[in-house]
Structure 1
Amino acid sequence: TRTMLTVLTVYPGENIDKWLDYLPQLPSEWMNAYDQGMIIAKKNLYDIKAYPSVYLLDKNKKVILKDSPIEVVEGFFSVSP
């Protein structure tokens, strides 16, 4: 089974205080970042249509799943590589 997973959250907004206030609600094992220059939004890098959006990337940072239902993401981890 697939077991290695790192969760990275990226806040693409401009209200840093709002993001900092929300951080304590996230699991401490997660990596958290923000897009200081709002490059994600300005360049429409990920075509984010809703928050939160879920992207599953492989070890080479290639997108495997995007905006998939959580059942699909869970199913990915229950299959042998």
Structure 2
Amino acid sequence: MEFKSDLFRSFVTHIRGGKEISVVYSRAGYSPTDYRLEAEWRARVLMEQSSAVKCPSISYHLAGTKKIQQELAKPNMLERE
């Protein structure tokens, strides 16, 4: 995916064979209050749409939120059929 900004270019490492590897490591962003500005939400969308390896992935990131944990803790929520 090509981006108009150089937001991700600083995270790109060129390795043998001309391949690019990009990594997004999230140390914050676990709460809606971490995204106070529209630009912060746009940056998050760009990160998720990129081909970069995300750590944590969005599914793990969401699973760590209190609301998701509350829902998963409800009786029979994780029962197999």
TM-score > 0.5, shorter chain as reference: no
TM-score range, shorter chain: under 0.3
Larger Rg: 2
Query: Which structure shows the bigger proportion of residues in helix conformation?
Result: 2
Greater relative contact order structure (CA < 8 Å, 6+ sep) = 1
Q: Taking structure 2 as the reference length, what is the TM-score of the superposition?
A: 0.20
